[in-house]
Homo-oligomer: A and B are copies of this chain.
Amino acid sequence: MGLKPNSALKASKTLFVLPSLFTFLLVGSQGENTAMDNVATERRAEESHRQDSANLLIFIMLLTLTILTIWLFKHRRFRFLHETGLAMIYGLLVGVILRFGVHVPRNMNNVTMNCSVNASPATLLVNVSGRFYEYTLKGEVSTVKGHDVQDDEMLRKVTFDPEVFFNILLPPIIFHAGYSLKRRHFFRNLGSILAYAFMGTVISSFVIGLVMYGCVTLMKAVGQLGGDFFFTDCLFFGAIVSATDPVTVLAIFNELKVDVDLYALMFGESVLNDAVAIVLSSSIGAYQPAGDNSHTFDATAMIKSFGVFLGVFSGSLALGVATGVMTALISFCFTKLRDFPLLETALFFLMSWSTFLLAEACEMTGVVAVLFCGMTQAHYTFNNLSPDSQDRTKQLFELLNFLAENFIFSYMGLTLFSFQSHVFNPLFIIGAFIAVFLGRAANIYPLSFLLNLGRKNKIGSNFQHVMMFAGLRGAMTFALSIRDTATYARQMMFSTTLLIVFFTVWVCGGGTTPMLSFMNCGCTAMVLQKSHAHFYVFEQVTVSDGTQHRNTKHESAWPFRIWYNFDNTYLKPLLTHSGPPLTATLPACCGPLARCLTSTQAYENEGHQHNDDSDELVLNDGNATMYGDVTVSTDASGTLTTNHKHLSASTMGITSEEALDQELAFGEHELVIRGTRLVLPMDDPPEPTVTLPPPPTSPPPFSDPFSDPFSDPFSDPRRNRL
């Protein structure tokens, strides 16, 4: 763990492409010496390719091992260590072995050439007796004492190009997060989520930046600082550690079936603040003018940074939404594409990938574009896909997400030992942990207080504590911090960030389950029942402390309601087959236009709409998961009895929201369900041992074609007509 400068960025991007290109290039040169030289080069290239394959194999084996252990944990219902934490442990073990077990010193002498060059350009042309060879810069090699080049070949080999994370591993993770957002609850809490994600992240960044600046100043006074650490570096550090991780939140909360609003707040915030953090950190880079090493406060640069932030964020958002809408339009226009799920899935995949590339080509942020593309795809395109393709796309992105996520986390563990330029500074690390804690607190508590002023459905203090506690740092923080480890400041940041990620994933992640039950944020009686092959029905009853009566209509902010109406009346019919036909939603004067834009399928669907976009259909955990709505009523004595009348009511085509409103009018002591949420109108939470009614595997008693027990009150277009 020496302090020698950057040797870690020696990207083995070769691991991915495994080029033994030079093998062949040199074949066929003239002359005896050249031929022998070529053969030697060829052998080296083959050896390098072999080595690359072996190294990648290490990672694959690591992933395989992780999967088997994850299965074991899931099988034994062992919940205190999350799978990502597990992947990190395996990575750590392999890192230790590579670091202390294997040492392959590098023989540099036979390739070192002393060129009288003044700069190190990205591309170098070397003139070898009249023939030009092109070389690309791979990185700087650490030097020890003068001209001796020393390097651990093995550790260098298992180090990936940091850009691999941004261009290969993060996009599927972020896309999956967007694609699986619980949209109903997401939109219901949109205002709060945006507040936490935007204002909260900015607040957190500045708080952390300021605390760290204080810490760094102290370190400088004590003489503990081994290099430059500017204020912009502090802010940069604040930005990268402010991104909470959707991966772990999604996994833990989804498995535990917590309160859906808490889930929506946590997940929505962590998805969006990833996007905010990535743009924020690049804006801080733009704050520092080119070649200017002054690092002083500059109002112009500040405004410029702000402009960059806004421009890049909104540009990426627009791009993501645009390609999402385009995919929706393609799948809307080429209706018969539904007959070929393979083509449909391939198209969906390619369009989503092209979003990323398009954004990068336009100098936007690909990851942010992909996030909003995923959300748009889920909202519109998903409805146009054939059921087969819906499954396929979900499963494909689920798999990609799973592999990428576990790869990143096991790589994280590995890096703790394989990275050769760690700077562990105890003072800085302690300061960083305090700063992260303060930053998170400054994000959650004041904002929650402000939001509660406007919210009908208050964010309880237990929810706030959970949000404070479960703000894990993960893949995005890691990727942002490993992206640049050239300077002393960045190396210290990277090492500290790694520790923060480890701590939050292991301690906070592992402690989330007990924390949730302690805080009483929703406990779940879950009955897993195998109804027939391929299909599992989850009966879920979420019981929370019933201090909040809610009325969905009133709790939604007015901008959302306007948006919802606009979306439902115009966008959905225009882009999907699932909405009401435009002829029904547009005013009569637009009749001809509406008829022309409405597909025949929309008319067909009018009779029996699927509401394919209800979140239950998008969000599942590997199985076709469904959350059955079960109505449970309680009489005055507090004992629970199931109420089949309400179930019938909800299956009769009356949306559960309306049902709720009716129920609330009947009596205060009646316990009803809305969505997957059960609101108990009493202060004392009931025993969680709820006796469940038999699961509705048989068709509902009312076989009204309009009935859909899983209907989404927010996406149900029939509401407008009732």
List the interface of chain A (C-beta within 8 A of B): 6, 9-11, 13-14, 16-22, 24-28, 32, 35-37, 39, 41, 44-46, 48-51, 53-54, 56-57, 60-61, 63-64, 67-68, 70-71, 74-75, 108, 110-115, 117-141, 143, 147, 149, 161-164, 167-168, 290-291, 293, 330, 334, 336-337, 339-343, 345-347, 349-351, 353-354, 357-358, 360-361, 363, 366, 387-388, 392, 395-396, 398-399, 402-403, 483-487, 490, 533-534, 621-623
Contact (A128, B122) CB under 8 Å given A60-B353, A345-B399: no
- Report A162 CB to chain B, min CB distance, Å: 7
- Report A270 CB to chain B, min CB distance, Å: 21
Partner of A357 from B57, B135, B366 at Cβ < 8 Å: B57
Report whether A622 and B291 are in contact in the complex, using a CB–CB cutoff of 8 Å: no
Report whether B36 and A9 are in contact in the complex, using a CB–CB cutoff of 8 Å: no
Which residue on B lies nearest to A485, using beta carbons?
B24
For the complex, give the distance between the alpha carbons of A353 and B62 in Å.
Answer: 13
Give the one of A50, A74, A349, A360 with max B CB within 10 A: A360
Tally of this chain's copies:
2
27 contacts between A and B (CB under 8 A): A9-B21, A9-B25, A11-B21, A16-B17, A17-B17, A17-B167, A18-B163, A22-B137, A24-B485, A27-B484, A35-B291, A41-B120, A44-B121, A44-B122, A53-B357, A64-B354, A71-B337, A75-B336, A111-B124, A113-B115, A131-B140, A132-B149, A135-B137, A342-B395, A342-B622, A349-B399, A395-B395
Which residue on B lies nearest to A23, using beta carbons?
B484
Those 3 A-B pairs whose CB atoms lie nearest each other, nearest first:
A135-B135, A28-B487, A53-B360
Report whether A125 and B113 are in contact in the complex, using a CB–CB cutoff of 8 Å: yes
Report whether A363 and B141 are in contact in the complex, using a CB–CB cutoff of 8 Å: no
Report whether A119 and B128 are in contact in the complex, using a CB–CB cutoff of 8 Å: yes
Contact (A388, B623) CB under 8 Å given A19-B11, A124-B111, A340-B74: yes
Q: Kindly list chain B residues whose C-beta atoms are within 8 Å of the C-beta of A351.
A: 64
- Report A164 CB to chain B, min CB distance, Å: 6
Q: Kindly list chain B residues whose C-beta atoms are within 8 Å of the C-beta of A20.
A: 163
Which residue on B lies nearest to A406, using beta carbons?
B346
Q: Kindly list chain B residues whose C-beta atoms are within 8 Å of the C-beta of A13.
A: 13, 17, 19, 21
For the complex, give the distance between the alpha carbons of A138 and B13 in Å.
Answer: 13
- Report A195 CB to chain B, min CB distance, Å: 33
For the complex, give the distance between the alpha carbons of A41 and B124 in Å.
Answer: 12
Report whether A56 and B357 are in contact in the complex, using a CB–CB cutoff of 8 Å: yes
Report whether A26 and B135 are in contact in the complex, using a CB–CB cutoff of 8 Å: no
Partner of A71 from B126, B140, B340 at Cβ < 8 Å: B340
Which residue on B lies nearest to A75, using beta carbons?
B336
Q: Kindly list chain B residues whose C-beta atoms are within 8 Å of the C-beta of A162.
A: 21, 24
For the complex, give the distance between the alpha carbons of A490 and B290 in Å.
Answer: 48
- Report A390 CB to chain B, min CB distance, Å: 10
Which residue on B lies nearest to A164, using beta carbons?
B17
Which residue on B lies nearest to A63, using beta carbons?
B350
For the complex, give the distance between the alpha carbons of A336 and B70 in Å.
Answer: 12
Report whether B346 and A46 are in contact in the complex, using a CB–CB cutoff of 8 Å: no
Report whether B399 and A350 are in contact in the complex, using a CB–CB cutoff of 8 Å: no
For the complex, give the distance between the alpha carbons of A533 and B11 in Å.
Answer: 48
Report whether A111 and B125 are in contact in the complex, using a CB–CB cutoff of 8 Å: yes
For the complex, give the distance between the alpha carbons of A74 and B351 in Å.
Answer: 21
For the complex, give the distance between the alpha carbons of A22 and B124 in Å.
Answer: 13
Which residue on B lies nearest to A9, using beta carbons?
B25
Report whether B24 and A483 are in contact in the complex, using a CB–CB cutoff of 8 Å: yes
- Report A330 CB to chain B, min CB distance, Å: 7
Give the one of A50, A71, A485 with max B CB within 10 A: A71
Contact (A17, B121) CB under 8 Å given A140-B131, A343-B70: no
Contact (A136, B133) CB under 8 Å given A330-B68, A360-B18: no
Partner of A117 from B14, B128, B164 at Cβ < 8 Å: B128
Q: Kindly list chain B residues whose C-beta atoms are within 8 Å of the C-beta of A64.
A: 347, 350-351, 354
Q: Kindly list chain B residues whose C-beta atoms are within 8 Å of the C-beta of A341.
A: 622-623
Q: Kindly list chain B residues whose C-beta atoms are within 8 Å of the C-beta of A118.
A: 128-129
Which residue on B lies nearest to A12, using beta carbons?
B17
Partner of A32 from B44, B291, B342, B361 at Cβ < 8 Å: B291
Give the one of A126, A163, A337 with max B CB within 10 A: A126
Q: Kindly list chain B residues whose C-beta atoms are within 8 Å of the C-beta of A141.
A: 125, 132-134
For the complex, give the distance between the alpha carbons of A21 and B45 in Å.
Answer: 22
Q: Kindly list chain B residues whose C-beta atoms are within 8 Å of the C-beta of A61.
A: 354
Give the one of A74, A122, A290, A403 with max B CB within 10 A: A122
Partner of A113 from B117, B353, B396, B403 at Cβ < 8 Å: B117
Report whether B39 and A138 are in contact in the complex, using a CB–CB cutoff of 8 Å: no
Partner of A36 from B36, B41, B161, B291 at Cβ < 8 Å: B291
Which residue on B lies nearest to A166, using beta carbons?
B18
For the complex, give the distance between the alpha carbons of A682 and B54 in Å.
Answer: 60
